[in-house]
Amino acid sequence: MPNENHNRAEHRPLERASLGQRLHDAFGIQFKFLVGTGFILLFNCLLTVFIVYQHEKGQLEERAFAQSELVMAAVEASRAYVREELRPAMYRQLGHDHFVPEAMSTSYVGRAVMERFSPAMAEEYQYRRVALQARNPSYEANALERRMIAFFNENPGEAEWRGLVEANGKKKFKRFRPVVFEAECLLCHGNPADAPQGLVATYGDVLGFHRQVGELAGAVVVGVPVAGAMADAREKAISVFLLVFLGMALVFILLSFFFHRMVVTNLRGVLNIFREQEESDSEVIPPLSAPVHEFDQQLGKAKAEDGYSGYTLTVATGLGSKDELAELTAAAYSMAGDLRRTREQLRQYNRELERRVAERTRALRDSEARLLQQELEKKIQQTEKMVAMGQLVAGLAHEINNPLGIIICYVDLVKRQPNLSPRARQDLAVIAKQARDCKRIVGDLLAFARGGESRKQPADLNRLIEEVARIVAPQFGKQGVAINLELAGGLPELELDENKIKQVFLNLLLNARQAMQDEGGEIEIKSRLAAPQGPVRVQVWDNGPGIAAEDLNRIFDPFFSTKRTGEGTGLGLSVSYGIIKEHGGELRVASRAGEWACFTLELPLSMDQPLINVPPPTAKE
């Protein structure tokens, strides 16, 4: 219970801070709602103004188009009168060699009419009939008109272009129509020799001649002033904007008021329920509004009658209330009670989880202790077995060594006889050889049993490995066996008997090569520091046939061998195991039958320092 109270006191400030953040978020909801609503209303206001302005602009263009139609119709009527009535009459009176532009040129008459038409109107209308390289410089096309003539040249199918154009800082509605030469036009614009002499005398025989039927002559331009109407449209748009903006602002204020009154206030009350429930599980939450206050009184009666410590949604709906806020409050009460019960369940689950974790931890520690005890017992059994075997071997070696010495001595005496046949001498040589082999085996047994005197001194383990590898590499290479060294640099020097350590590595390399037989393979030797405080770990790995699982526990026993008959005595690994033990280290083996075998040596950094228990590898690292 003290721990539980401590945990509750420890977590309570965090929970209150969380509630404070939730309360802050309630105001954040109002802010986000109002900002979003404001953007929507402003967007609607601007959209309304844009639609009104575009509508007014469209109406303006339609009115300007109608006015331009009147202007063009008037000009075309005057041109038709000149072309059909006045020009033929002038030809009849003056003859075809005379040409009076003021009475006979349709273009001249049309321009003259418009020059007199604009001053009579309140606004400045424009009519121009322009061309490229015009006879009269006043009718030469300006930059805008040149672009439109080029447009009609590039788009022969276009009959006209119209739109709003800004000229001299004023907006005008302009219409452009292409002018195409017809057959009757060639009298004045075709061959100069066929034109009236008065026309040639007035304008020369270069400009305006040599035209073809269907050729683009220029453009007719009609301009209708719209600057005043555009200003009226803008003023109307601004008025509409102000009116709509005031309406939207009023809507925004009303929405803000009702949202705060109906949502934010009640949401704050709902959050207070959870805060009050956390501060005191039995405290009654104050009412949110008038309908909710009546509902709370009924809930208080229900609580007093049945002694129930929390409110549920079922009770609320049973009272017949139609107010959503009342239902929300009841749901909040129920949720607060559920949260309180859930917190208590979580505390119980936490305590149960801690208990189970503690039990599993104790079980794992006990299992680890049992495994370590079993490993230690195996090592003790192996050591006792090796000691017993050494004592037995020492006794047997003494008993066998003396007869062998006598046999070798008598063989030497017999060989000195002068009358021995060659066959007898060969037999005596075989006897001597076999006796010496037995004597050598007995010597190995004695060395294994006694251990011999070790001369330890600081030595570089990597150097010893490299020296042994250089000795056997040429012979191994001929047999298709490659030796790869991966020796970690910077290893500290160890207190070693160099000759005995070399013997260990030589035994391991020879065993690996013999296991591969004649098939060849690969041997890898790796050294590294297993931990900062040691030990130094060396792995000798080969991809030979491996060691059967049932032989792994006996691999270091004396006279146990998996080699073929005559290839070994079964003492190499036993002697190597004894040498490593003499240096305070460990020698382990791991294998996968048919794939690989790996011997792992671990040597302490100092003989005074015990071997640190580092988990051994189960395969090549």
Can you spell out the DSSP letters for 215-244?
Answer: -EEEEEEEEEE-HHHHHHHHHHHHHHHHHH
* Mean pLDDT for the stretch of residues 575-588: 88
pLDDT band at 213 (very low <50, low <70, confident <90, very high): confident
> How far, in Å, are 296, 581, 603 from residue 379 at the CA level?
78, 11, 16
- Round to whole Å and give the CA distance between 113 and 129: 12
Q: Which residues contact 379 (CB under 8 A, 6 or more apart)?
A: none
Q: How many CA atoms lie within 13 A of 615 on its CB side?
A: 6
CA dist list (Å): 57 to 47, 54, 119, 230, 265: 15, 5, 26, 7, 48
Instruction: Give the least confident one: 308-312, 450-454, 474-478.
Output: 308-312
Residue 538 counted as domain residue:
yes
The DSSP-derived string for 540-573 is: EEE-SS---GGGGGGTTSTT---SPTTS--S-HH
* Single residue among 210, 232, 254 that ends a domain in this structure: 232
Indicate the DSSP class of residue 168.
Answer: T
Task: Give the predicted TM-score (pTM) of the model.
Answer: 0.36
Q: What confidence score (pLDDT) does residue 280 get?
A: 53
**Given this model, what pLDDT does residue 313 score?**
41
Q: Is residue 321 situated within a structural domain?
A: no
Q: Is the predicted pLDDT of residue 294 greater than 50, yes or no?
A: no
Asked which of 197, 214, 232 is the last residue of a domain, the reply is 232
Q: Compute the residue count for the chain.
A: 621
Q: Are 218 and 130 in contact (CB under 8 A)?
A: yes
For residue 604, say if its preceding peptide bond is cis, omega within 30 degrees of 0. no
Domain that holds residue 169: 20-232
Q: Is residue 483 part of a domain?
A: yes
pLDDT at 618 over 70: no
403 part of a folded domain: yes
Read off the CATH number of the domain in which 404 is found.
3.30.565.10
Q: Which of 237, 229, 234, 115 is nearest to 172 (CA)?
A: 229
In a domain, 277, yes or no: no
Q: What's at 287, amino acid-wise?
A: P
Say how far apart CA 291 and CA 343 lie, in whole Å: 31
Mean pLDDT to the nearest integer, 163-168: 78
262-281 pLDDT, tens digit each:
777 777 777 777 676 666 55
Largest CA distance in the chain: 177
**For the residues 93-99, what does the mean pLDDT come to?**
72
pLDDT at 113 over 80: no
Question: Cα dihedral angle (96, 98, 102, 107), rounded to 10 degrees?
Answer: 50
In a domain, 347, yes or no: no
Amino acid (one-letter) located at 355: R
Lowest mean pLDDT among 75-89, 163-177, 385-399, 467-481: 385-399
- Split at pLDDT 50, 70, 90, the class of 469 is very high
What amino acid is encoded at 13 in this protein? P
**What is the reported pLDDT for 321?**
47
180 found inside a domain: yes
Residue 371 lies in a domain: no
Return the SS3 of 584.
Answer: coil
Q: Which residue among 184, 209, 232 closes a domain?
A: 232
pLDDT at site 10: 45
User: Are 190 and 211 a contacting pair, CB within 8 Å?
Assistant: yes
* Band (25; pLDDT cuts 50, 70, 90): low
Using alpha carbons, list the distances in angstroms from residue 245 to 44, 521, 581.
9, 91, 97
CA distance 149 to 570: 112
How many structural domains comprise the chain? 2
Q: Which one, of 255, 180, 250, 245, lies nearest residue 219 by Cα?
A: 180
Q: What 8-state DSSP symbol labels residue 494?
A: E
